[in-house]
């Protein structure tokens, strides 16, 4: 693993606040701006972090117009790239590209989905004032960073809604058992398995206990389908 990438991932893994998440992308990639936003119903639509006014403005335009790379990344669950916003961008997102050309000197734009498993709830946007092609390694690294940010944002949201009362022993036991089941199903760490359960409960408006019970009783199973984690009943 590249030393600079490893260092950035370590910083993101220990992030206490979401305010500066976007800055890590500027340290690793030759881009001029970056932003992290949540989109849709799960966490609401808002800018979590932006490196400057231009990055913030690009997100605001996409929010207002309902189109752009961040929405495509969310919809498709895959990185979105546009080398020339004034050319290909006009064909893909005519309203956004036209508005952006008047507000922000952006040539190339990239977006990466922010998600945990099949739960997609945001995007990372990167832009460059001059035409810029990210390599396959850079795309892979940015995707991994967006994934880590997704875990951070979802955990932060779950922590804000947790019942302050400690769960009883039986509840903890069932959640622990469900974590072990999901861990085995997906071949992930215990922490990641618990976050998958919590994220599914959060999105479904259910309790962690009810989802854990469904997993333990085999009414709910998590599988990898085409590279993504899906909940199957």
Cα separation, 60 vs 181, in Å, equals 41
Q: How confident is the model at residue 136 (pLDDT cuts 50, 70, 90)?
A: very high
Residues 61 and 109 in one domain: yes
CATH number of the CATH domain containing 73: 3.30.450.40
**Which run of H or E residues covers position 199?**
helix 190-204
Give the Å distances, CA to CA, from 219 to 110, 216, 228.
39, 8, 20
pLDDT at residue 144 is higher than 80: yes
Whether residue 175 has pLDDT greater than 80:
yes
Query: Is residue 164 over pLDDT 60?
Result: no
Residues 124 and 178 in one domain: no
Q: What is the DSSP letter of 167?
A: P
Residue among 20, 105, 7, 93 nearest 54 (CA): 105
Backbone angles phi, psi at 194, to 5 degrees: -65, -35
pLDDT in tens, 29-57: 999 999 999 998 778 889 999 999 999 99
Q: What is the mean pLDDT of residues 108-114?
A: 97
Assign residue 189 the CATH number of its domain.
1.10.10.10
DSSP sequence for 79-148: -EEES-TTTHHHHH-HHHHHHHHHH---SEEEEEEEEETTEEEEEEEEEESS-----HHHHHHHHHHHHH
Residue 113: pLDDT above 60?
Answer: yes
Same domain flag for 199 and 223: yes
CA distance 177 to 165: 21
Picking from 140, 160, 180, the residue at the C-terminal end of a domain is: 160
Look at the chain and report how many structural domains it folds into. 2
Average pLDDT, integer, range 211-226 = 88
Q: Domain check: are 220 and 142 in the same one? A: no
195-207 confidence digits (pLDDT tens): 888 888 888 888 8
Which residues constitute the domain of residue 151?
3-160
Residues 19 and 65 grouped into a single domain:
yes
Residue 185: exposure state from Cβ atoms within 10 A (0-12, 13-18, ≥19): middle
pLDDT score for 19:
75
45-83: b or e for each residue (b if 16 or more CB lie within 10 Å)?
eebbbbbeebbbbbbbbbbebebbbbbbbbeeeebbbbb
**Verdict on whether the full-model pTM lies above 0.85:** no
> Which of 160, 181, 200 finishes a domain?
160
In the chain, % of residues over pLDDT 90:
54
Looking at the structure, tell me whether residues 217 and 135 fall in a common domain: no
């Amino acid at each position: 693993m590249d030393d600079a990438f490893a260092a950035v991932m370590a910083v993101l893994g220990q992030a206490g606040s979401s305010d500066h998440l976007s800055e890590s992308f500027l340290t690793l990639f030759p881009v001029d701006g970056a932003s992290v936003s949540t989109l849709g119903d799960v966490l609401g639509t808002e800018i979590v972090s932006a490196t400057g006014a231009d990055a913030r403005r690009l997100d605001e335009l996409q929010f207002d117009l309902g189109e752009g790379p961040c929405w495509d990344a969310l919809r498709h669950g895959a990185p979105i790239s546009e080398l020339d916003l004034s050319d290909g961008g006009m064909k893909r997102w005519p309203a956004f590209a036209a508005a952006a050309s008047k507000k922000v000197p952006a040539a190339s734009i990239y977006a990466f989905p922010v998600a945990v498993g099949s739960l997609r709830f945001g995007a990372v946007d990167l832009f460059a004032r001059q035409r810029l092609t990210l390599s396959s390694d850079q795309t892979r690294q940015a995707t991994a960073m967006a994934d880590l940010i997704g875990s951070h944002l979802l955990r932060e949201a779950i922590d804000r809604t947790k019942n302050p009362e400690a769960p009883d022993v039986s509840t903890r036991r069932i959640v622990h058992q469900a974590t072990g089941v999901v861990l085995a199903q997906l071949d992930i760490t215990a922490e990641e398995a618990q976050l998958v359960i919590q994220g599914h409960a959060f999105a479904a408006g259910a309790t962690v206990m009810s989802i854990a019970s469904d997993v333990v009783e085999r009414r709910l199973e998590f599988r990898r389908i085409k590279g993504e984690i899906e909940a199957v009943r």
